[in-house]
């Protein structure tokens, strides 16, 4: 069986060599490919701990690769590493499904810290231990520390972004959270950012945790104001 590895998708060889060297010094096994096509050929990425993905690639671009990864594996952590540092580029990367976004040039220390955090979370999926009491609502139980949940549809492994979003909702039960608060707290985006990322994320949470996603009772939309989490499943007028 293939040992756990990090998939590096980077076409600039001088950058790739440095990243591979430093990752291997940290004890990681690295598979390096230079195109989006080669990255997708690795599917279904068994034992892959995370993907480090450049955006400007020959052939299939990084955003399309990220979307394909998300279609095939909603849980595989993806770190975009790119010279495209404008806010709209970052938004596009997050909307494509990336878990994190780091621009070149970057601090090697920060890069390795981000990789370590994402790899640890990926490993937690495979080695969940302990019987810590979870947060229960409806037919669901969420274990934030273990990055997992049980639902009527089965067991879920949670991504970092899902954990961040759920933590904010659970810690603010019954409180209306504005779009601006959520965009800033979860994605670090400015309040005036125009993006469908948040709306798409709410749809995802409803698909996971609502008995009838089209008529939510836990993750509610308060029209013109934001979103609210109701543990006891209280429906309100104006929810969607």
Q: Enumerate domains of the chain plus CATH numbers.
A: 5-126 (3.40.50.2300), 135-229 (1.10.10.10)
The Cβ-side half-sphere exposure at 182, using a 13 Å CA radius, reads: 30
CB-CB neighbours of 198 under 10 Å: 19
pLDDT of residue 73: 84
Q: Strand 5-9 to strand 48-53: parallel, antiparallel, or no bridges (unpaired)? A: parallel
pLDDT of residue 130: 39
pLDDT of residue 163: 87
pTM across the whole model: 0.58
Strands (E), the chain: 5-9, 30-33, 48-53, 78-82, 100-103, 135-137, 140-143, 148-151, 154-157, 176-177, 219-222, 226-229
From first to last of its 240 residues, what are the pLDDT tens digits of the chain?
467 899 999 999 999 999 999 999 998 999 999 999 999 998 888 889 899 999 999 999 999 999 999 888 877 889 999 888 788 888 888 889 898 899 988 899 999 988 988 887 665 544 443 345 678 898 999 988 788 899 988 998 888 888 888 988 988 888 899 988 888 878 877 767 777 888 889 999 999 999 999 999 999 999 989 999 998 876 543 444
pLDDT of residue 237: 39
Find all residues with CB under 8 Å of 163, minimum gap 6, and list them: 144, 147
pLDDT of residue 128: 40
pLDDT of residue 12: 93
The Cβ-side half-sphere exposure at 44, using a 13 Å CA radius, reads: 6
Which residues on neighbouring strands pair with residue 149, listed in sequence order? Answer: 142, 156
pLDDT of residue 122: 63
The Cβ-side half-sphere exposure at 220, using a 13 Å CA radius, reads: 22
């Amino acid at each position: 069986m293939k040992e756990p590895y990090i998939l590096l998708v980077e076409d600039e060889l001088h950058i790739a060599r440095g990243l591979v060297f430093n990752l291997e010094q940290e004890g990681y096994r690295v598979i390096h490919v230079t195109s989006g096509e080669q990255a997708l050929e690795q599917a279904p990425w068994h034992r892959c701990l995370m993907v480090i993905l450049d955006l400007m690639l020959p052939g299939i671009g990084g955003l399309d690769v990220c979307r394909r990864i998300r279609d095939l594996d909603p849980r595989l952590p993806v770190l975009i590493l790119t010279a495209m540092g404008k806010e709209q580029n970052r938004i596009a990367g997050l909307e494509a499904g990336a878990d994190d976004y780091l621009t070149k040039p970057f601090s090697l220390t920060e890069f390795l810290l981000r990789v370590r955090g994402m790899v640890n979370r990926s490993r937690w999926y495979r080695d969940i231990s302990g019987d810590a009491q979870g947060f229960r609502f409806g037919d669901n139980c969420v274990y934030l520390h273990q990055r997992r949940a049980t639902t009527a549809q089965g067991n879920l492994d949670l991504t970092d972004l899902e954990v961040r979003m759920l933590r904010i909702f659970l810690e603010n039960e019954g409180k209306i959270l504005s779009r601006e608060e959520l965009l800033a707290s979860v994605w670090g985006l400015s309040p005036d950012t125009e993006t469908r990322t948040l709306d798409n994320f709410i749809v995802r949470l409803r698909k996971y945790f609502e008995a009838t996603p089209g008529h939510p009772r836990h993750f509610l939309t308060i029209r013109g104001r934001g979103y609210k989490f109701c543990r006891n499943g209280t429906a309100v007028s104006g929810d969607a």
